[in-house]
Amino acid sequence: MKETINKKLYGSTTVELKEEKVELANVKDIDKKLKGLLDVQKQLDKILPAIEKLQVQEKDQKGILNIRVNEAKSFVAELEKQLKELGLDTNSVSGFNQLKNEVSNSEVYLK
């Protein structure tokens, strides 16, 4: 029955579809996708070395900051102890509270 319908519609029992248009569209899509991938790869090739360099600098600076934070914490603790022994308030020492706040602020960078 299927053959009869095809024969009446198309004049034969088999229908040949043209594949050229489909293949041409696929080739264009391949080229477009390939170009898109290569463009992004090219951009990444440019920026990845800079990112890696910045990551090294970040690690170095965090190491230095960690040392300075620990030094400042020790200093703050010692000064608080001395002020307490003398019966003085930490507010009486200029910059003390700011130093204490900056120690806390700096610790955020170390996480």
Q: Average pLDDT, stretch 72-84?
A: 95
Instruction: Read off the tokens for 40.
Output: 């992004």
Mean pLDDT of the chain: 86
- pLDDT greater than 70 at residue 10: no
Write the pLDDT tens digit of every residue in 89-100: 999 999 999 999
- What pLDDT is attached to residue 17? 55
Choice between 66 and 26, residue whose per-residue pLDDT is larger: 66
Instruction: Read off the tokens for 12.
Output: 């034969």
Closest CA to 110 of 75, 74, 65, 71: 65
- The domain ranges of the chain are 18-109
Task: Please state, for a pLDDT cut of 90, what percent of the chain lies above it.
Answer: 70
